[in-house]
């Protein structure tokens, strides 16, 4: 058995189903994930997982390896080993990190009482919980560049979200400053370079802010989101993940407020649309 097939099977066996939001259930022949469960989490066919574990499929793509690493809750070091034994170069340090570490994944899994999402340093949406989807709209429905927060903000607007004048100005400026920092840290990331180039060409507002050359840390903000249960005002805080350069964005409402009560209602209703938007 190849090293790739060996570690893939070993890491699948160690992931408990309840640790990834799946029912353990009776009669399981393996303490870890079934092949069909790993396939579903990684977005591939069961047959492909079988061929990988039997060494009958070679040269998996970097995208697939990244999906497997996330599904298997691998550390950064384990992910890099998976790439190497698959005869692929681990993600370069000159490109924006996209790997969701086990600790970050657990935060998303367990902090279901607050809307929470994980973004890259370039503001690509990677992961979110159900309450985030219920509050902001389900990111699963977004494709390609629309998964990028900066692109949506400047090119598609922010329908359904209101800021006061100060926070609107700060938030727009902070997004541009974040991209400028990312460009400096990840000069080899072609997707990031193309994103900035397109925004500069197609958004006069982005270009105006880019010309200021502001570099700063993202600040907290306050916004009102129009949802199926009515408008909800939340504070937005951005937490940085050391080492992986991910951003965890958390929305909270003042305890005991009408906004907190509406969040509780939204948590119960989940993704159901209670009223037309």
What's the pLDDT at 275? 39
- In which band, very low, low, confident or very high, does the pLDDT at 102 lie, cut at 50, 70 and 90? confident
Averaged pLDDT, 152-159:
86
CA angle, 201 then 207 then 212, to 5°: 155
Pull the structure tokens for residue 255. Answer: 């305890």
User: 8: closest CA among 88, 71, 59?
Assistant: 71
Task: State the DSSP string of 171-197.
Answer: HHHHHHHHHHHHHHH-TT-HHHHHHHH
pLDDT tens digits along 252-276: 999 999 999 999 999 888 655 533 3
Contacts made by residues 141-145, CB under 8 angstroms, sequence distance 24+: 145/195, 145/198
pLDDT tens digits along 215-240: 877 777 888 999 889 999 999 998 88
Place of tokens 């998996």: 60
- The secondary structure element, H or E, covering residue 200 is helix 190-202
Counts of helices then strands in the chain (DSSP H, E): 12, 6
Beta bridge partner(s), residue 142: none
Identify the structural domains of the chain with CATH numbers, from first to last. 3-85 (1.10.260.40), 102-269 (3.30.450.180)
Per DSSP bridges, beta strands 246-252 and 230-241 are antiparallel
Distance CA 108, CA 115 (A): 9
- Predicted TM-score (pTM) of the model is 0.82
Please provide the average confidence, as pLDDT, over all residues in the chain. Answer: 88
């Amino acid at each position: 058995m190849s090293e790739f097939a060996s570690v893939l099977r070993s890491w699948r066996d160690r992931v408990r189903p309840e640790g990834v939001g799946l029912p353990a259930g009776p009669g399981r022949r393996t303490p870890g994930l079934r092949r069909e469960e790993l396939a579903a989490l990684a977005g591939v066919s069961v047959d492909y997982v079988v061929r990988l574990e039997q060494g009958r499929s070679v040269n998996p793509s970097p995208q697939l390896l990244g999906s497997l690493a996330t599904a298997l809750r691998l550390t950064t070091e384990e992910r890099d080993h998976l790439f190497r034994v698959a005869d692929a170069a681990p993600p370069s340090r000159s490109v924006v990190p996209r790997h969701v570490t086990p600790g970050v994944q657990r935060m998303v899994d367990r902090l279901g009482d607050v809307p929470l999402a994980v973004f890259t340093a370039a503001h690509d949406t990677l992961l979110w919980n159900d309450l985030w989807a219920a509050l902001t709209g389900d990111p699963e429905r977004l494709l390609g560049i629309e998964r990028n927060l900066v692109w949506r903000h400047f090119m598609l607007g922010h329908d359904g979200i209101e800021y006061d004048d100060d926070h609107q100005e700060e938030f727009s400026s902070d997004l541009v400053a974040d991209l400028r920092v990312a460009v400096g840290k990840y000069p080899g990331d072609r997707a990031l370079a193309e994103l900035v180039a397109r925004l500069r060409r197609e958004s006069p507002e982005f270009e105006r802010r880019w010309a200021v050359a502001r570099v700063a840390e993202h600040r907290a903000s306050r916004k009102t989101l129009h949802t199926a249960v009515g408008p909800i005002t939340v504070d937005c805080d951005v937490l940085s993940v050391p080492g992986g350069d991910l951003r965890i964005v958390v929305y909270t409402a003042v305890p005991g407020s009408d906004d907190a009560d509406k969040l509780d209602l939204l948590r119960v209703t989940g993704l159901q649309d209670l009223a037309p938007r």
